Amino acid sequence: MMRSKVLSLVARAASNRMMSTATKLTTVEVNDKTGIATLTMNRPPVNGLNLELLQDLKSSIDEVEGNKSRGLILTSSSSTIFSAGLDILEMYKPDKDRIRAFWTQLQETWLALYGSSVPTAAAINGHSPAGGCLLATSCEYRVMVPNFTIGLNETQLGIVAPKWFMASFLSVLPQREAERALNQGRMFTTEEALKVGLIDETANSKEEAIEKCVAFIGTFAKVNPLARSLTKQQFRAADLQQLQNERQQDLEKFLFFVNQPAVQKGLGIYLEGLKKKAKKQ
């Protein structure tokens, strides 16, 4: 390794504190200069959101809430995928108990991220379909690298995005755009996403995306943190409360829906298509 690279790694290690261990599917790194935490998803190959990744995401969000970070930046360790969304294997021919735990964990993780008291931003350094888009739109700001896609494509899989997925989407897009995109299951390119307002900025690399997220979080430097977080909570309270009130019904609805033979058949065909595509590459 070149000496300069070694020196830069040593310097980086000194100014950043690794808060989580590498055994987890997420890591949290707090920059000592900015006080901002970067939460990185690391579940190869596609950051499919399975039960364990969702558990780690939730505990990392809790860790950031608890360690007085000035903000949270969500990103991925992959060079081409932010997150492929929910791990379809959790929903296809599911185990009865595990699928309950899986959906319950997804609800909890969304409540924690969408309701986070710290400023949140997503550095979207790869494709971000469905659950990936849910995570990104749960943050307050999005910066995306070119040549990738983002959107809620559920209808393309023959499934229906629950109300709280729509709530995140609607916190970013006007109702007319959101409704049309969801009905179509539309995936937006980075450029299209910028045009419609689904993302806030583009960046040429993950590093630049993170810098732009840091700059966004920096805009709150002179704002009273309690006033800022209570204001955010008020904007989001109705969406959060709706899921809190309906958690059990939402779970039962999901289980009923996902266990329908037609939905299982559709998921099987979709998975097969993904596997065939992967083999061809």
Ligand X SMILES: CCCCC/C=C\C/C=C\C=C\CC(=O)SCCNC(=O)CCNC(=O)[C@H](O)C(C)(C)COP(=O)(O)OP(=O)(O)OC[C@H]1O[C@@H](n2cnc3c(N)ncnc32)[C@H](O)[C@@H]1OP(=O)(O)O
Indicate whether 185 belongs to the interface with ligand X (CB under 6 A). Answer: no
Q: Is 177 noted as a catalytic residue in this protein? A: no
Q: How many residues belong to the site for ligand X (CB under 6 A)?
A: 30
Indicate whether 173 belongs to the interface with ligand X (CB under 6 A). Answer: no
Q: Which of 253, 259, 264, 266 contacts ligand X by CB under 6 A? A: 253
Q: Which residue sits closest to ligand X, CB atoms considered?
A: 85
User: Catalytic pick from 154, 173, 182, 194?
Assistant: 154
Q: Which of 46, 53, 145, 214 contacts ligand X by CB under 6 A? A: 46
Amino acid at site 50: N
Cis peptide before 45 (omega within 30 of 0): yes
Q: Is 86 noted as a catalytic residue in this protein? A: yes
* CB-based contacts of 112, cutoff 8 Å, min separation 6: 58, 61, 62, 65
Considering only 4-12, 159-167, 174-182, 195-203, which stretch makes contact with ligand X by CB under 6 A?
159-167
Q: At how many degrees (to 10) do helices 131-138 and 96-114 cross?
A: 30
Of 31 and 78, which CB lies nearer to ligand X in the complex structure? 78
Helix (H) or strand (E) holding 16: strand 16-18
61 close to 113: Cβ distance less than 8 angstroms: yes
User: Catalytic pick from 71, 85, 126, 131?
Assistant: 131
- Judged on CB neighbours under 10 Å (0-12, 13-18, 19+), 174 is exposed
With CA atoms as reference, report the closest residue to 62 among 28, 32, 104, 100: 28
Residues near ligand X (CB under 6 A): 45-46, 48, 80-81, 84-89, 127, 129-131, 153-154, 157, 159-160, 162, 253-254, 257-258, 274-275, 277-278, 281
Residue positions annotated with a catalytic role? 86, 131, 153-154
